[in-house]
């Protein structure tokens, strides 16, 4: 049975309970035989995060006030330069040189998945809903390992993500721009959403995300679902005129409103309301 819907999802803090980029970074340090707090010839992780925040704050100040939705989306799109500068620093330092899939898989075992996520996946499989994860995380290998370690084979869940480059022996070269998809910003995700919509004409997209980095695809989707209570996203929505409603108010028969998103606190709420509702499901 095929459904008219696709469910596309962010990874970090949407499917996972916490951000996981630092776990990917730790795989790099482990490949150098050390931890992020010990010298390995590679700067400590805090140096990379501090440099990123310095770039971001400077960019934010240079951009100026963002009082409209158009301003906000442009700001998020142009932040690609900040993201690329961070990637370039990490590549130059060689953090992921010598990393292997095994290092990433070991780190994936530390990932905590939000409660209820797999209930939604099972429901979507029953309904024939197309699934997909799209992330600005740095490793598809890492994400897929976390899924499979928690839920078994997930070949029906494509992962659209950046990837560390490996040589013919499966060893990291230090390059981080490998893979079929290079996703640095929400604008890159939105472009991919539109591509998938065009390739699967007639299907409607439900996109689930948690942060301002998801704003582009949240707004482009037929139904944008915000998970959690991230203050920065809520404040941004209020500032630029986006309404965030409880998922119980979603009417899938009504025309799409491009300035309305729907919120859930946990994945199981998608089984009570919206296109994947299961009347037999009880929280």
CATH code for the part of the protein at 1-19+111-136+183-283: 3.40.50.1000
What pLDDT score does 38 carry? 53
Go through 209-228 and write b for each residue having 16 or more CB atoms within 10 A of its CB, e for each that does not.
Answer: bbbbbbbbbbbbbbbbbbbb
- Per-10-residue mean pLDDT for the chain, 283 residues long? 87 98 96 67 93 98 96 97 96 95 97 96 94 96 97 95 94 84 92 92 93 96 94 95 95 87 95 84 63
> What SS3 class is residue 51?
helix
Q: Residue 109: name the closest of 35, 178, 23 by CA.
A: 23
Residue 130's alpha-carbon distances to 7, 57, 124, in angstroms, are: 6, 38, 8
What pLDDT score does 30 carry? 93
Domain ranges (residues) in the chain: 1-19+111-136+183-283
This prediction has a pTM of: 0.94
Q: How are beta strands 223-227 and 204-209 bridged, if at all?
A: parallel
What pLDDT score does 182 carry? 85
What pLDDT score does 192 carry? 94
What pLDDT score does 256 carry? 85
- CA–CA separation, 172 vs 176, rounded Å? 9
């Amino acid at each position: 049975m095929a459904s008219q819907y696709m469910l596309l999802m962010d990874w970090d803090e949407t499917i996972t309970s916490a951000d996981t980029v630092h776990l990917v970074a730790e795989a790099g340090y482990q490949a150098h035989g050390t931890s992020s707090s010990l010298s390995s010839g590679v700067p400590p992780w805090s140096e990379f995060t501090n440099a990123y925040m310095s770039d971001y704050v400077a960019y934010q100040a240079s951009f100026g006030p963002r009082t409209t939705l158009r301003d906000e989306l442009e700001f998020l799109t142009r932040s690609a330069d900040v993201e690329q500068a961070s990637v370039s620093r990490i590549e130059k330092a060689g953090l992921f040189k010598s990393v292997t899939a095994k290092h990433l898989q070991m780190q994936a075992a530390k990932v905590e998945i939000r409660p209820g996520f797999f209930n939604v996946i099972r429901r979507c499989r029953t309904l024939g809903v197309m699934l997909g994860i799209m992330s600005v995380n740095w490793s598809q290998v890492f994400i897929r390992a976390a899924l499979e370690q928690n839920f078994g084979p997930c070949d029906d869940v494509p992962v659209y993500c950046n990837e560390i480059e490996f040589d013919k022996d499966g060893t990291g070269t230090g390059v981080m721009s490998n893979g079929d998809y290079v996703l640095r910003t929400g604008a890159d995700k939105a472009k991919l959403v539109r591509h998938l919509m065009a390739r699967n004409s007639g299907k409607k997209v439900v996109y689930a995300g948690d942060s301002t980095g998801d704003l582009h695809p949240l707004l482009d989707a037929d139904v944008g679902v915000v998970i959690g209570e991230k203050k920065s996203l809520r404040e941004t929505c209020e500032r630029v005129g986006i309404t965030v409603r409880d998922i119980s108010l979603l009417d899938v028969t009504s025309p799409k409103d491009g300035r309305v998103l729907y919120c859930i606190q946990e994945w199981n709420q998608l089984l009570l309301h919206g296109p994947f509702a299961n009347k037999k499901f009880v929280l």
